[in-house]
């Protein structure tokens, strides 16, 4: 804007130094404002980015924690189920053991009763023999005493299905079935699936049978811990080479093979079996 001489000379007024600095200062101020604005915007952007990154990290961590929480609750649920399953299995086994114990008690009582009955009959027979020998009695002894003996012990020792070895008696089945049924069959006849304690017994059994057969051996209670049904451990050298191998993760019952060695096999397989009883006359 051109200042006019108010004195009416018509000459434009000369610009003072301060008039010349004005626009310069203004443009510097404007430039400064732009720079300040740009810096503020940049700062805002940095802060915003920082918050976005922080927030997405937090979200990821929350998801992680939630995932772990889910996994832990599912593991807890699984553990809980396993615990209740183990507990019910244990109580069932305990009940079975109690029943076995009761059965064995009653068998022992039966055997004791039979023993005392036989002692009486034998002493009667001795009396009769003494009388025969001294000429005071009939010419022959009462053989019905011996008949009674075999009535009381139907399986022993004359039962052709049972074979004696070292004071034990063995039954070799003529049909096949799974391990549990074979075990039950022996139990129902006052015996048990054969328990092999010596290599002589092992050889006797393997030579007497015609086919591979179940014996009283299993690791059903604890995988890899093989025990006879009497609770005894099995001798390592009795196993065939490479056995027990728990093939297909499903071999928990023991059999004796024709080669005189033991093998673990699937309990549901149908095989012959060998029962044993300890009665010694
Ligand atoms: Ca035995
Ligand atoms: Ca096994
Ligand atoms: Ca095997």
* 173-190 tens-digit pLDDT: 999 999 999 999 999 999
Greater model confidence, 35 or 17: 35
Q: Please compute the mean of the pLDDT values over residues 219-238 and round it to a whole number.
A: 95
Q: Please compute the mean of the pLDDT values over residues 254-259 and round it to a whole number.
A: 96
Predicted structure pTM score: 0.47
Strands 272-277 and 213-218: parallel
DSSP 221: S
Q: Residue 16's Cα: distance from chain center in Å?
A: 105
Greater model confidence, 126 or 192: 192
Ligand nearest to the CA of 191: 1
CA 277 – ligand 1 centroid, Å: 8
- The two structure tokens encoding residue 280: 């010694």
53-81: per-residue pLDDT in tens? 998 899 999 999 999 999 999 999 999 99
Domains and CATH numbers, the chain: 161-281 (3.10.100.10)
The answer, yes or no, to whether residue 6 has pLDDT greater than 50, is no
The answer, yes or no, to whether residue 4 has pLDDT greater than 50, is no
Name which of 9-13, 25-29, 172-176 the model is least confident about.
9-13
Q: What distances in angstroms separate CA 164 from CA 156, 157, 192, 200, one per listed residue? A: 9, 8, 15, 13
CA 220 – ligand 3 centroid, Å: 14
Tell me the pLDDT band of 158, cut-offs 50, 70 and 90: low
Instruction: Find all residues with CB under 8 Å of 235, minimum gap 6, and list them.
Output: 199
Ligand nearest to the CA of 239: 3
How many CB atoms are located within 10 Å of the residue 235 CB? 13
Are 281 and 156 spatial neighbours (Cβ–Cβ below 8 Å)?
A: yes
Whether a cis peptide bond, with omega within 30° of 0, leads into 176 is no
Ligand nearest to the CA of 247: 3
Q: What is the mean pLDDT of the chain?
A: 84
Q: Please compute the mean of the pLDDT values over residues 192-218 and round it to a whole number.
A: 96
What totals of helices (H) and strands (E) does the chain contain, helices first?
A: 4, 8
CA 229 – ligand 1 centroid, Å: 11
Hey, which of 35-44, 83-92, 149-158, 266-275 has the most confident mean pLDDT? 266-275
Tell me the pLDDT band of 135, cut-offs 50, 70 and 90: low
Ligand nearest to the CA of 198: 1
Cα 275 to Cα 170: distance, rounded to the nearest angstrom? 5
CA 242 – ligand 2 centroid, Å: 13
Write down the pLDDT at residue 92. Answer: 86
């Amino acid at each position: 804007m051109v200042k006019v001489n108010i004195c009416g000379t018509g000459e434009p007024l000369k610009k003072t130094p301060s008039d010349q600095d004005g626009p310069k200062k203004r443009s510097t101020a404007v430039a400064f404002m732009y720079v300040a604005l740009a810096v503020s915007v940049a700062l805002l952007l940095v802060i915003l980015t920082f918050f976005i990154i922080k927030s997405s990290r937090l979200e990821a961590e929350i998801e992680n924690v939630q995932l772990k929480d889910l996994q832990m609750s599912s593991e807890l649920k699984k553990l809980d189920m396993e615990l209740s399953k183990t507990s019910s299995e244990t109580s069932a086994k305990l009940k079975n053991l109690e029943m076995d114990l009761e059965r064995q008690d009653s068998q022992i009582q039966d055997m004791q009763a039979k023993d005392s009955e036989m002692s009486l009959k034998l002493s009667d027979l001795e009396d009769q023999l003494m009388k025969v020998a001294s000429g005071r009695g009939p010419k022959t002894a009462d053989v019905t005493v011996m008949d009674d003996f075999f009535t009381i012990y139907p399986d022993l020792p004359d039962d052709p299905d049972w074979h004696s070895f070292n004071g034990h008696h063995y039954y070799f089945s003529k049909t096949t079935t799974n391990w549990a049924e074979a075990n039950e069959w022996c139990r129902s006849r006052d015996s048990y699936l054969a328990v092999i304690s010596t290599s002589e017994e092992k050889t006797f059994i393997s030579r007497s049978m015609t086919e591979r057969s179940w014996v009283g051996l299993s690791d059903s209670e604890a995988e890899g811990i093989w025990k006879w049904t009497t609770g005894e451990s099995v001798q390592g050298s009795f196993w065939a080479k490479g056995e027990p191998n728990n093939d297909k993760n499903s071999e928990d019952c023991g059999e004796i093979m024709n080669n005189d060695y033991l093998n673990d096999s699937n309990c549901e397989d149908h095989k012959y079996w060998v029962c044993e009883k300890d009665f010694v006359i």
